[in-house]
Chain A
Amino acid sequence: MFRKTKMKKIQTPLDDREIRKLRAGEVVLLSGTIYTARDEAHLRFVELIEKGKELPVDLKGEIIYYSGPAPAGNRVIGSCGPTTSSRMDLFTPCLLKKGIKYMIGKGSRCEEVTRAIRRCSGIYFLAPGGAGAYLSLRVKNCRLVAFKELGPEAIYKLEVENFPLIVGIDSRGNDIYKQ
């Protein structure tokens, strides 16, 4: 799909120095571990944090993927594209303070999220929206880790291989949508 020469490959756990080099607009292929979490999971995370409780999964330094996959059936996972990130804006600064650094979604983010990303030298990646079938082929393992009762909105731990991403907001707060 992408010419290999043009694509930077990155691997989790993400290396801080490597991350600081990435610039908004750059295309990368990600391999390693990511965790799905969307609206309801975000709400629960923030409620737990406000009550001073631990999150059900240690997400420090991890990558959150805004996605509610379709059921797996007899496959590793069903279609699993990104959902609209801006709905998570309300919760993101709080989560970044707790040590989550990286996010994958689609669409633009608010100023406050951009500032929070800059503060923690994080990154916001874009995944191709509406290409869930294509992306599902790049997920090699999927395991439910928390909030089972939320169904598609539960937290799934995914092992991905060459997951195609674009840097949306880089660690310096440069935003692809504002260039």
Chain B
Amino acid sequence: MSTRKINVREIEKKVKDLCAKANIVLRPDVNAAILKAYRSKNETFLAKKMLKILLENARVAKEEKLPICQDTGITEVFIKIGEKVILTGGNLTNAVNRGIKKAYAVNYFRKSVVRDPLLRKNTRTNTPGILHVEITRGNKVKVTVMPKGFGSENKSALFMLNPTATAEEIERVSVAFVKNAGANACPPYVLGIGLGGTAASAAVLAKKALLRLIDKANKKHHLAELEKNIMKKANALKIGVMGLGGKTTVLGVNIEAAPTHIAGLPVAINLSCHALRSASATI
């Protein structure tokens, strides 16, 4: 395979378009999960009312080109760059931030980023975004944008379990985690769980897990089982839509695993509200 030159301006353009798409058009897999919950039997009166509003909200957002949620998040951008790609035209990070800045300005998205966590002055551009770069095979660039609101991000957590911890222990931690999030982070939730790696890499893995379609189980049987069990037990908590009770507490559980150290078992859980947003494109 021969090398290929890609101008970072192309990436900037993709980031801009994907910011708009992710914030305005609810992911079809998420919409389908909400619809399924709405149509399910024995759901409570209030839960049905609220699920109907969420479906209506997704329709209004798409038709009126409005963000699904006013919290258009801090923008996480995942870029996979093929090893045969030569980036031209300037700095990648700057290009990504230009894309975010333009998208949030022209689409009237809320700017929610402050420059310093203590001084808290809004940058008014929603930049800087958070950029994750990975080198892969081939000569393409894959760009994924994930705006993440903080009602749910605030409830995300890391647990450093013992290496001898069982799958049941991970279930227990995950279900307790959902119970703790309770009504406050816009249930029904989607759980992204990163197992293994280090404290830092597990947290990133948890976020990446949310990018997988929520109706697709992990390909590894033992992890798919774990996903299923956590989902079942979390739904048995009956927190429900908006915390008002009913059977829909969690719309999906996605687990990703990575090699880790003999002395530990990091479990990072990234919580998403029902408005799980992301969009991808390949250059």
Give A contacts to B, CB under 8 Å. Answer: 1-2, 25, 27, 40, 67-73, 75, 78-81, 83-86, 106-108, 126, 128-137, 150-152, 164, 166, 176-177
- Kindly report which residue of chain A lies nearest to residue B275, judged by CB atoms: A130
What separation, in Å, do the CA atoms of A166 and B108 have in the docked complex?
29
Q: Are A86 and B61 in contact (CB under 8 A)?
A: no
Any A CB within 8 A of the CB of B60: yes
B186 on interface, CB distance cutoff 8 Å: yes
Q: Which 8 A-B pairs have the closest CB atoms?
A: A107-B184, A73-B108, A133-B61, A134-B57, A131-B57, A79-B70, A133-B66, A132-B70
13 residue pairs of the A-B complex, CB under 8 angstroms, read A67-B70, A69-B70, A70-B70, A71-B110, A78-B70, A79-B110, A81-B69, A83-B151, A130-B54, A132-B57, A136-B60, A164-B53, A166-B46
Instruction: Kindly provide the distance from the CB of A84 to the nearest chain B CB, expressed in whole angstroms.
Output: 5
* Contact of A128 with B243 at beta-carbon distance under 8 Å, contacts A72-B108, A79-B69, A81-B70 already known: no
**CB pair B242 A129 closer than 8 Å:** yes
Contact A166 B244 (CB under 8 A): yes
Q: Is the CB of A151 within 8 A of B111?
A: yes
Q: Is the CB of B242 within 8 A of A128?
A: yes
Asked if B22 CB lies within 8 Å of chain A CBs, one says no
Asked whether B68 lies within 8 Å of A71 as measured between CB atoms, the reply is no
The answer on a CB contact under 8 Å between A70 and B72 is: yes
Encode contact with A along B58-98: 1 for CB under 8 Å, 0 otherwise.
10110010111111100000000000000000000000000
Query: Nearest-CB distance from A88 to chain B (Å)?
Result: 12
A2 and chain B: residue at smallest CB distance: B49
Which chain A residues border B184 with CB–CB below 8 Å? 84-86, 106-108
Determine whether B6 belongs to the interface, using a CB cutoff of 8 Å to chain A: no
Q: Is the CB of B186 within 8 A of A130?
A: yes
- Chain A residue nearest in CB terms to B56: A134
Interface of chain A, main secondary structure: loop
Q: Is B232 an interface residue (CB 8 A)?
A: no
B137 within 8 A of A: no
Q: Which of A130, A133, A135 contacts B274 (CB 8 A)?
A: A130
Supply 8 further A-B pairs (C-beta < 8 A) apart from A68-B110, A84-B184. A67-B70, A70-B109, A71-B109, A133-B58, A150-B122, A164-B53, A166-B244, A177-B243
Chain B residues touching A, majority SS: loop
| Contact residues in A for B69 (Cβ distance below 8 Å) | 79, 81, 130-133
- Residues on B facing A (Cβ under 8 Å): 46, 49-50, 52-54, 56-58, 60-61, 64, 66-72, 108-112, 120, 122, 124, 151, 154, 182-186, 242-244, 273-275
When C-beta atoms are compared, the residue in chain A nearest to B124 turns out to be A151
Contact indicator A78/B242 (Cβ below 8 Å)? no
Contacts of B66 in A (CB 8 A): 70, 75, 78-79, 132-133, 136
Most buried by B among A27, A70, A135: A70
Residues from chain A with Cβ under 8 Å of B275 in the complex: 130
Cβ contact of A79, chosen from B61, B185, B186, cutoff 8 A: B61
Q: Report the separation of the CA atoms of residues A42 and B26 in the bound assembly, to the nearest whole angstrom.
A: 32
User: With A and B bound together, what is the CA distance between A71 and B108 in angstroms?
Assistant: 5
Smallest beta-carbon distance A63→chain B, Å:
18
* A137 engages B60 (CB within 8 Å): yes
- Chain B residue contacts of A86, Cβ below 8 A: 184
B70 cross-chain contacts in A, Cβ below 8 A: 67-70, 78-81, 132, 152
- The answer to whether B68 touches A132, judged by C-beta atoms less than 8 angstroms apart, is yes
Tell me whether A78 and B244 are in contact (CB under 8 A): no
What A residues does B58 contact at CB under 8 A?
A: 133
A176-B246 Cα distance, complex, nearest whole Å: 13
Q: Which residues of B contact A1 (CB under 8 A)?
A: 49, 52-53, 56
User: What residues of chain B lie closer than 8 Å to A166, measured between beta carbons?
Assistant: 46, 242, 244
Q: How far is the CA of A78 from the CA of B61 in the complex (A)?
A: 10
B107 vs chain A, min Cβ distance (A):
8
Q: In the assembled complex, which residues on chain A have CB atoms less than 8 Å from the CB atom of B112?
A: 68, 152
CB within 8 A of B243: which of A25, A107, A135?
Answer: A107
Which residues of chain B are near A164, meaning CB under 8 Å?
A: 53
Q: A106 touching B111 by the CB < 8 A rule?
A: no
A41 to B13, CA, bound (A): 36
